[in-house]
């Protein structure tokens, strides 16, 4: 047996043990808290603390930026790798805020499953709907976790009806609450209905809640009407056919549903086990030119995120790469598909939030941090053996624009370096205005909070505070030479309404969709191409 075939077999065997998934939700649904609770139950950390959004409180492992800790929100994605049972889990925590949808979309290009959080009181919110649509578009199966059941909220059956009616996705409960939201008495594992799991929360939720298995007859005696109602609801759901079917789940037609409270670590173990038991392992990945690359093919990986200054002591830059096929070995030379040039993988790390350690070998589903990989960009494919290129990473249509200038002209060099770095990371899109030139770039963002991140990082990481001047544009369209010429002649848009992106694509900026449509009618020969919208 050749060494290559042995490596292929090893890649396939290790891939079967991997579960690579994202945690996604509307802001404030408890996403980062759940991320930490999952790590706690897998014994990857020894103590957890809730995220309360107030300065001075201890943040979660995945929220490592100072801005995240101060605001109590996630503004960038993070990677946590840990083991549970016989599986290796790669958990990608994502920004919850809608302004960072683009970062979330990139993360979803690197996972095989998603855990969607729903707030028990609020149900399906705007960002929840958008993320469900993205998962459906990418064919990513979704596990649903109804969070905050220890607080007052809506009826459980009502929440299931909302999921089914709005998403045409069949909810199939795997756990069911005993007691209304805010009056949680325990959980029933639908697969073992002859008992109830009762929880005793640890002080502050710092450790896993104590779990007691209560026989059905005792639960009935002690919980009375709450137990009777839970059993009646489960019988109704069973009669309606709302039982988990693995094929339907993987096909994106149903979603297994779990109930609990992440801040109290209630129901989290059952969810963690479900990720191992239900989430799919890595499989063949679609290629840009058609066909797919199986996990046992030679190495290929997708760069889905670039992040600088995670370690401020070293001021380095990490390209996060999802291994899609084969075995990754540190120190080998691979090919960057975009340039066809070799790329050395001398410095490779496994990542747990901000902490990291050198990794020598990684398998399909694993996420590797390539340190100081200055040549790499978001969407790059790396490969060895037979050439491969994964589909390009889409860019969302920006809706907010601002001119950036250095607050201190003496820091112009640091200003240019910082803006270039944030552009490469995809924090914002950096455009050049024909009116202002490269010394005053136009920043384009999906949401205004991205500008807050730019200002914070430019000051604290690059020592180059910036002044941002908002521009009155909210619609961007890709155009051609005819469109650029027309823009320079029309009264609808003047000067900086025409900008160029990094790849020299001309973009036409308009104050509103109505003015973009008016321009298209006046100049029918000019190409105006709609970019991928932020809501798709």
From the number of C-beta atoms within 10 Å of its C-beta (0-12, 13-18, 19+), residue 284 rates as middle
> φ, ψ for residue 192 (rounded to 5)?
-135, 70
Specify the DSSP class assigned to residue 142. Answer: E
* Cα separation, 182 vs 188, whole angstroms: 17
Residue 292: C-alpha distances to residues 300, 379, 387 (Å): 11, 17, 12
> φ, ψ for residue 316 (rounded to 5)?
-100, -175
CB 328 within 8 A of CB 366: yes
> φ, ψ for residue 477 (rounded to 5)?
-135, 135
Annotated binding residue 294: no
* Cα separation, 532 vs 334, whole angstroms: 31
Strand ranges in 287-347 using DSSP code E only, listed in sequence order: 292-293, 300-308, 317-325, 328-329, 333-336, 341-344
3-state secondary structure of 366: coil
Annotated binding residue 95: yes
CB 433 within 8 A of CB 471: no
Nearest to 113 by CA among 145, 74, 83: 145
Helix (H) or strand (E) holding 159: helix 156-167
Annotated binding residue 349: no
Annotated binding residue 104: no
* Cα separation, 303 vs 411, whole angstroms: 31
Annotated binding residue 93: yes
Specify the DSSP class assigned to residue 532. Answer: B
Residues making up the annotated binding site for GTP are: 93-97
Residues making up the annotated binding site are: 93-97
């Amino acid at each position: 047996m050749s060494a290559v075939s042995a490596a292929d077999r090893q890649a396939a065997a290790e891939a079967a043990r991997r579960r690579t998934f994202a945690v996604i939700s509307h802001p404030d649904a408890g996403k980062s808290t759940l991320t930490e609770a999952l790590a706690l139950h897998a014994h990857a950390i020894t103590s957890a603390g809730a995220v309360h959004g107030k300065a001075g409180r201890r943040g979660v492992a995945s929220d490592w930026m100072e801005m995240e800790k101060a605001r109590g929100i996630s503004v960038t994605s993070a990677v946590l790798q840990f083991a549970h049972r016989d599986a290796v889990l790669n958990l990608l925590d994502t920004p919850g805020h809608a302004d960072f949808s683009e970062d979330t979309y990139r993360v979803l290009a690197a996972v095989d499953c998603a855990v969607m959080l729903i707030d028990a009181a609020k149900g399906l919110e705007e960002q929840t709907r958008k993320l469900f649509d993205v998962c459906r578009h990418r064919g990513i199966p979704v596990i649903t976790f109804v969070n905050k059941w220890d607080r007052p909220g809506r009826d459980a059956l009502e929440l299931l009806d909302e999921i089914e009616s709005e998403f045409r996705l069949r909810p199939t409960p795997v756990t069911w609450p005993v007691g209304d939201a805010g009056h949680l008495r325990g959980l029933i594992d639908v697969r073992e209905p002859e008992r109830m799991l009762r929880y005793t929360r640890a002080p502050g939720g710092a450790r896993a809640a104590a779990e007691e298995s209560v026989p059905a007859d005792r639960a009935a005696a002690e919980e009375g009407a709450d137990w009777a109602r839970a059993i009646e609801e489960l019988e109704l759901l069973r009669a309606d056919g709302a039982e988990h079917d693995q094929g339907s789940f993987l096909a994106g037609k149903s979603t297994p549903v779990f109930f609990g409270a992440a801040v109290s670590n209630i129901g989290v173990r059952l969810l963690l086990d479900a990720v191992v038991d239900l989430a799919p392992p890595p499989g063949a990945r679609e290629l840009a030119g058609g066909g797919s690359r199986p996990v046992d093919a030679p190495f290929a990986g997708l760069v889905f995120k670039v992040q600088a200054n995670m370690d401020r002591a070293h001021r380095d830059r990490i390209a996060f790469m999802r291994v899609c096929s084969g075995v990754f070995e540190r120190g080998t030379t691979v090919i960057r598909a975009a340039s066809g040039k070799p790329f050395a993988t001398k410095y490779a790390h496994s990542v747990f939030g901000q902490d990291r350690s050198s990794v020598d070998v990684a398998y399909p589903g694993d996420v590797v941090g390539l340190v100081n990989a200055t040549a790499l960009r978001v969407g790059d494919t790396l490969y060895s053996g037979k050439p491969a290129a994964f589909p390009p990473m889409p860019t969302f249509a920006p809706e907010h624009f601002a001119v950036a200038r250095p607050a201190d002209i003496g820091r112009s060099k640091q200003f240019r370096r910082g803006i270039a770095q944030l552009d490469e990371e995809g924090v914002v899109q950096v455009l050049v205005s024909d009116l202002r030139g490269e010394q005053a770039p136009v920043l384009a963002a999906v949401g205004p909070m991205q500008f807050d991140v730019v200002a914070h990082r430019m000051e604290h990481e690059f020592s180059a505070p910036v002044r941002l001047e908002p521009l009155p544009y909210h619609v961007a369209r890709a155009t051609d030479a005819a469109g650029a010429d027309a823009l320079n002649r029309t009264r609808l848009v003047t000067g900086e309404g025409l900008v160029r992106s990094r790849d020299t694509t001309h973009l036409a900026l308009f104050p509103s969709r109505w003015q973009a449509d008016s321009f298209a009618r006046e100049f029918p020969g000019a190409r105006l191409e709609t970019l991928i919208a932020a809501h798709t």
